[in-house]
Structure 1
Amino acid sequence: MATILQIETATQVCSAAISRDGKTIALKELMANNIHAGSLTLFIKEALDLAGLQFEDLDAVAVSMGPGSYTGLRIGVSTAKGLCFALDKPLIAIPTLQMMAQGFMLQNPDYNGLVCAMIDARRMEVFTSVYNKALETVTPVSAKIIDEESFAQELSGHVITFIGNGAAKCMDVLEHENAKFSELNFNSASYMSKLAHEAYSAARFEDVAYFEPFYLKDFVLTTPKKK
């Protein structure tokens, strides 16, 4: 049996879950601004307590690798790497957008269209990728500025459900009859369980010393507007 700690901090959601053999057995999460640094380790401990486990009972640590919030990813990945070093456990990296698509498919098992996971970047830009029902990549991960022509080829032949915190701002732009939108949250460590178990079974582990989050774009420092 593989018992895996899973961490998701790519967006406003701070989430920690425990899975066993691909099934989520404990979850602690909250959606709020700027809580990751102060809450993640507490959520991890609470998830372990819910599962009746100690850190030493873990077989691996899985982390949502991005793209997403620069600060959130740094916090999640550094926490995961620190635990792997301390516990001498392997590190698993799960693509954030694929995790989101997995969550949608788990919630909608009879759905046969495509799913487009979107993470809000800035203005009309999103980090996005399109997946089919088997979680195979239809369009690769990219930073895309959304306009009326976005996804025109895919929408011409498929129903696409747009999900994630980047999807809401695109509703008024993507008005194709095949464009559907879900307002549910799919940034949850609980949706990593199947993917993390598959990676563990295939021994797809990261180099703990050198692994870095997948930011997709360089960090841009902005100056807050004066009130």
Structure 2
Amino acid sequence: MSGKVYFISGANRGIGYELTKQLSSISATARDPASASDLQQLSKSNSNVQVVKLDVADEKSFEQLDDQLKNIATNGIDVLISNAGILDAFKPLLETSKESFINNFNVNSVGPILLVKALYKYLEKSQTKQIAFVSSLAGSISNYFPFSTSAYGQSKAALNYAVKEFSFELGSEGYTVVALHPGTVSTDVSKTVFSYFVEKNSEILEAFKDFESLTPEESAKRLLKNVNNLSKESNGKFFDDNGNEVSF
């Protein structure tokens, strides 16, 4: 990974922040950099970390990205890790609001596509040309879990479809485009969501009995290992946190 330039979205906390800590030469984004105190401190202590402002839910934010990058990514971007996303409390489809669907698709599906569009000219400068989308097994139609992830799962399924299309459209240009499942990461939000569903359906405990609960730090380590192991043959594939290929 030495000498490569990484761009990580959603780096203000959680997995994105841990990815930033574990990498050297990166551009990391946050919706509000001023409030991302840990990320700002990391940037101050490591000259290779450059923080830029980006809200993937705001199309105008992408228009301002070039002004922030043109002087710090002069040699391009080698690896894009599209990590920014939202995880709403899951509800059955009949109880999910229109606003929840719009928010999830806007951030989890449309935002990553706009990010690639905004960074394409920087990725073109590199020979590496790797794009990794942090997705979720919740978006895998082939591995459907016995409970509804509604807007979240559907937005990740849409993201996975975008991965397949990007891999087809950009593969001939030397790009490697993949979807990566970060593992079952233990966060305050995920604990709340899991508790909610266990109350609704005890079968969920059985469905998750073989899933290892990861800290954001461990999840980031596994994601970076998977990114580091990418090859041209990886293009268009979906990998879990252990590096195993999974079906869409």
TM-score band (shorter)?
A: 0.3 to 0.5
Report which of the two has the higher share of helix. Answer: 2
Q: TM-score, normalised by structure 2?
A: 0.36
Indicate the structure with greater strand content.
1
- Tell me which of the two structures has the higher relative contact order, counting C-alpha pairs closer than 8 angstroms and 6 or more residues apart: 1
TM-score (norm 1): 0.38
